[in-house]
Structure 1
Amino acid sequence: MTTTSAPVSESLTRQVSQRVSQSVFDGSHLRVVLLVDVYDGAQQQFLEAYEQLCNQVASVPGHVSDQLCQSIENPSQWLITSEWESAPPFLTWVNSEEHVRMVEPLHSCVRDTRSLRFHVVRETGGPAAHAEPGERRLQSSPRIGDGVIRHALTFTVKPGSEEAVAKILADYASPEPRVDDTTRLIRTSLFMHGNRVVRAIEVRGDLLAALRHVARQPEVRAVEEAINPHLEHDRDLDDPESARVFFTRAALPAVHHVTAGEAKADAVRHALYYPARDGGGLRLAQLLSQQDEKAADDPRSPVLRSTIFQRDDVVMRLVDVRGGDTDPAQVLGLTDRARVAEVTALLDADALGVDASALSDGAAARLLTLARMELVTDRRSPDA
Structure 2
Amino acid sequence: MTITSTPASEPLTRQVSHHVSQSVFDGSRLRVVLLVEVYDGAQQQFLETYEQLRSHVESVPGHLGEQLCQSIENPSQWLITSEWESAPPFLNWVSSEEHVRMVKPLHRCVRDTRSLRFHVVRETNNASAGAATAREGLQASPRIGDGVIRHALTFTLKPGSEATVARLLADYASPEPRVDDTTRLCRTSLFLHGNRVVRAIEVRGDLLAALRHVAQQPEVRAVEEAINPYLEQDRDLADPESARVFYTRAALPAVHHVTTGEKDQAAQRHALSYPARPGCGMRLAQLLAERDEAAADDPRSPVLCSTVFQRDDVVVRLVDVRGGIDAAGDPAVALGLPDPGQVAELTTLLDGAGAADGTPGSPGAGDALARALRGARMDLVTDRRAPHA
Report the Cα distance in structure 2 between the residues aligned to 1:135 and 1:183, rounded to whole angstroms: 35
Report the Cα distance in structure 1 between the residues aligned to 2:38 and 2:338, rounded to whole angstroms: 50
* Residue 19 of structure 1, CA deviation: 2.9
- 8 Å CA contact 1:38–1:111 kept in 2: the answer is yes
* Residue 132 of structure 1, CA deviation: 2.0
* Residue 303 of structure 1, CA deviation: 1.0
Residue number in structure 2 paired with 1:347: 350
Residue number in structure 2 paired with 1:6: none
Q: 1:338 is matched with which residue: 337, 341, 354?
A: 341
Residue number in structure 2 paired with 1:375: 380
Describe how 1:47-66 pairs up with structure 2 within 5 A: 47-66=47-66
- 8 Å CA contact 2:33–2:115 kept in 1: the answer is yes
Q: Which amino acid in structure 2 is aligned with residue 94 of structure 1?
A: V
* Residue 266 of structure 1, CA deviation: 2.2
Asked whether 1:326 is paired with 2:331, we answer no
Report the Cα distance in structure 1 between the residues aligned to 2:218 and 2:82, rounded to whole angstroms: 38
Report the Cα distance in structure 2 between the residues aligned to 1:286 and 1:276, rounded to whole angstroms: 12
Question: Relative to structure 1, is the Cα distance of residues 68 and 367 closer, same or farther in structure 2, using a 3 angstrom cutoff?
Answer: same
Residue number in structure 1 paired with 2:73: 73
- 8 Å CA contact 2:62–2:84 kept in 1: the answer is yes
Identity %: 77
Describe how 1:1-384 pairs up with structure 2 within 5 A: 19-126=19-126, 129-132=129-132, 136-323=136-323, 325-327=327-329, 328-350=331-353, 352=354, 357=357, 361=365, 363-384=368-389
| Cα distance per residue 1:187-229 (max 9 Å; x no partner) | 0000000100000000000000000000000010001000000
- 8 Å CA contact 1:119–1:139 kept in 2: the answer is yes
Q: Which amino acid in structure 2 is aligned with residue 37 of structure 1?
A: E
Question: Relative to structure 1, is the Cα distance of residues 316 and 85 closer, same or farther in structure 2, using a 3 angstrom cutoff?
Answer: same
* Residue 141 of structure 1, CA deviation: 0.2
Question: Relative to structure 1, is the Cα distance of residues 103 and 127 closer, same or farther in structure 2, using a 3 angstrom cutoff?
Answer: farther
* Residue 133 of structure 1, CA deviation: 7.3
Question: Relative to structure 1, is the Cα distance of residues 240 and 135 closer, same or farther in structure 2, using a 3 angstrom cutoff?
Answer: same
Secondary structure (helix, strand or coil) at the match of 1:246 reads: helix
| Cα distance per residue 1:300-330 (max 9 Å; x no partner) | 1111100000000000000011116212222
| Cα distance per residue 1:222-248 (max 9 Å; x no partner) | 010000000001111111111110010
* Residue 65 of structure 1, CA deviation: 0.5
Specify every segment of 5 or more residues in structure 2 that has no aligned partner in the other structure, as ranges. 1-17
Report the Cα distance in structure 1 between the residues aligned to 2:133 and 2:270, rounded to whole angstroms: 40
Secondary structure (helix, strand or coil) at the match of 2:155 reads: strand
Report the Cα distance in structure 1 between the residues aligned to 2:186 and 2:150, rounded to whole angstroms: 10
Q: What is the aligned length?
A: 364
- 8 Å CA contact 1:69–1:80 kept in 2: the answer is yes
Question: Relative to structure 1, is the Cα distance of residues 194 and 128 closer, same or farther in structure 2, using a 3 angstrom cutoff?
Answer: farther
Tell me the TM-score normalized by structure 2: 0.90
Structure of greater relative contact order (alpha carbons < 8 Å, 6+ residues apart):
2
Q: Which amino acid in structure 1 is aligned with residue 72 of structure 2?
A: I
Question: Relative to structure 1, is the Cα distance of residues 104 and 166 closer, same or farther in structure 2, using a 3 angstrom cutoff?
Answer: same
Report the Cα distance in structure 2 between the residues aligned to 1:109 and 1:84, rounded to whole angstroms: 26
Tell me the TM-score normalized by structure 1: 0.92
Secondary structure (helix, strand or coil) at the match of 2:282 reads: helix
Secondary structure (helix, strand or coil) at the match of 2:98 reads: helix
RMSD: 1.7
Question: Relative to structure 1, is the Cα distance of residues 57 and 300 closer, same or farther in structure 2, using a 3 angstrom cutoff?
Answer: same
